Chains A and B, each alone.
Chain A
Amino acid sequence: MIFNKKGYLHFMFKRTLLILLFLLLSMPMLAHGDLTIRIAEKTIEISEDPNNFELYYQRGLLYQQHMEFDYALEDYLKSQFLGNTNKALHYQIAEVHFLTAAYTEALQSIEWYLELDSKDLSAKKLQAQILFQLQSHKKSLEGYRYVIHNMKDIRPEDVLEYCNIILAENNKNYKGALEAVEYGLDQLGPHTISLQLKKLDYLKDSGQTEKVLEQYNYFILEYNRNEFWYYKKAKYLTEINRPHEAFISLKLASVAIEQLNAKFKNMSPVIELKEQIKSLESSINNQKS
């Protein structure tokens, strides 16, 4: 018993020293706090059980979190070599390849994964993202469409990415992109700002002048503070050669600023805005004269 306890203590002492040594040597390179320690611990576990594919997989995940993608891939491939046939491994390999821009390899790995689980939405999304990078826009769009319409909780980011693919596939398909935005607004809430902003961009890019102005009015009416929106609307009105309306919008912007509390008036974005208003106003006046 005494011997066992002594042996255990000796083992723990040696193990602790090894972890500390690893940490010391890797400190400058690995500065992610407890992730560094967990990688060190996993390394010790691997040294004690070098043929355990699960351990390599787990360390690969840690390296990946640590953004040490080469090490992560090395561990995943070692895990595979040692017999890991788990579908999650294919996903991770695909993801690391994707993150390191090795898109062909990434596609191969994710397709292996999808052979095992053809309906996994995360995998379908990754596949669509890989296809997009490989300029296979049509297939990418098909895949992403499936994801968008089947994912339980989409995010604004997903909708924006979907729109981007729609326009990559056909750079004139603003109708499709705007429908996707509307679908997003329907799913996420009608006032989701990043989608409303994207809607404005697409309406502008597709030259739908009156709808652009309606969209600016939406922002003006929806938000507590609208000085920035008045200015942006005025700028757009100037661009489409409607100087008088622009002039009125600038007046509204100035009044909106005047109605702010002093704190907001003195914020640098508002101070800059005042300058921009002044400059646009004089440019409109010059146009008139």
Chain B
Amino acid sequence: MAFESLSERLQGILKRLRGKGKLSPQDVEAATKEVKIALLEADVNFKVVKDFIARVKERATGAEVMESLTPAQQVIKIVHSELTALLGGVNQRLSVASRPPSVYVLMGLQGSGKTTTCAKLGRLLSRQGRRPILVAADLARPAAVKQLEVLANNLGLPSFADQTAKDPVAVSEAAVADAVKRGIDAVLIDTAGRLHIDDELMEELKALVDRVHPTERLLVVDSMMGQDAVKVAEIFADRIGIDGLIMTKLDGDARGGAALSVKAVTGVPIKFVGMGEHPDALEPFYPDRMASRILGMGDVLTLIEKAERTISEREARELERKIRENEFTLEDFLGELKRLKNMGPLDQLLGMIPGFGKIKELGSFDVGERELSRIEAIISSMTREERRKPWIIDGSRRKRIAMGSGTRIQDVNRLLRQYWEIDRMMKQFGGKKGSRKKGVFRGFPSPFGNA
């Protein structure tokens, strides 16, 4: 596996501590070393990591290992809550000028996604009932003006785009003046990408900002950025000033440590995240989700909460009993999958469960949303008897089930294989703890009830 999730690594280190009352400085040292590596691999700036680790150490040393959590989870909980706090606690909205129009200047390096974000933000504001205009002040990149104009047209938004213009400051000023006349209440200015060390262009941006008095100066940051994000943000903050951050391209698999870095050094809130190429794919920023993502782990605590909300104590006991007594049927299997689905997108959800990565490693346990509906179709095409006694499903039954569910025999086979794998694993977990009462997935926070 290319990257072990932090929670798994921590569990490895802290396994031997189970049952210990308090975390010793040595335990904390070993654990924070793993945290440090995870953060660095997630591209969090090393200076930020250093400070962060120091804080975590302080909090974790001597911390009580709560009865309900293993030491590993205790450390994760501390790391996670510190990260969330550092990322900004709660989501912050875009400010609005007391006297319209509000002016928002989007700025950043080349290729960070300013133009696309400008369009998305316009879309978002117009859906909130505001009247935005997109202003093409990137006169440097060939066809950037055209790009913004096309995007605006596609979205049915007005644009202020002059392909022959030469001076971005003049264009921006004119656009604001025009907006006042036209009763437009949000002016989104798309500026050219520039390097933070390009004096001339930074001066130009400064001049622009000085003239249009933006309500917010928004720095657009590529979430795939590495260590340099800090330097870029610092210089933009110093020379221009930043009121908000927008992290783009978070729909990929980058950990997005840059978000933490820029937030930590500038102190400016992250307001939005770009989650795809679709014009609607601009979402408010949630610090806790980002914290989980940076750690490459699931949000254990949220999962526990979600699980608690979705599954009642009684159901959890019932399920446990079934597993213990070898009565885990295909119906239960489907029920559990559905329950997982109710808790949120499945792929994210599986990521939330420490140790569940191992189940994924078993190979075929890939439960996408589409996969789930296929599984549902297959199980629904079985007779009640088949669902309860899966071992009776022979070749001809498989064929019938495949026909009935509109799937292929291979799909049915795969489902059964997955079921047997889960069944076997559950028995293992169930078996190990023997007659002890609590927790099916002992040692993991169980999705099937709070262990």
Question: Are A and B part of the same complex?
Answer: no
